[in-house]
Amino acid sequence: MLKVCKIKKASIITIGDEILNGGILDTNSRWLCRRLTELGVSVERISIVHDTVDAISIEISSALNSEVDYIIATGGLGPTPDDVTIESVAKLLRRDIKIDAEILGWVEKKMEFMLMLGFKGGMTKAREKFARIPDGMIPIYNKVGISPGLIEKLGDRTLIILPGVPREVESLFRDIEEYIESDVTIECEELKIFGLEADLADCFSNFTKNFPDVKLGSYPSRGTLLLKLYLSGKDAAQVKERLREAKKHLLKILPTA
Q: Are residues 97 and 220 in the same domain?
A: no
Domain count, the chain: 2
CA distance 133 to 131: 6
Do residues 62 and 157 make contact, with C-beta atoms less than 8 angstroms apart?
Answer: no
Confidence label for 252 from pLDDT (cuts 50, 70 and 90): confident
Q: What is the dihedral of CA 174, 177, 182, 187, to 10 degrees?
A: 10
Confidence label for 6 from pLDDT (cuts 50, 70 and 90): confident
Helix axes 53-64, 85-93, angle to 10 degrees: 50
Q: Are residues 167 and 201 in the same domain?
A: no
Q: Are residues 163 and 194 in the same domain?
A: no
Q: Are residues 169 and 222 in the same domain?
A: no
What's 107's domain CATH number?
Answer: 3.40.980.10
Determine the structural domain holding residue 157 and report its residue range: 8-179
DSSP E strands in the chain: the ranges are: 8-15, 41-49, 70-74, 97-99, 132-134, 138-140, 149-154, 157-162, 185-194, 215-221, 224-233
| Predicted structure pTM score | 0.85
Length in residues, the chain = 257
What would the mean pLDDT of 34-39 be, rounded to a whole number? 95
Q: Are residues 151 and 247 in the same domain?
A: no
What's 233's domain CATH number?
Answer: 3.30.70.1120
Q: Are residues 155 and 84 in the same domain?
A: yes
100 lies in some domain: yes
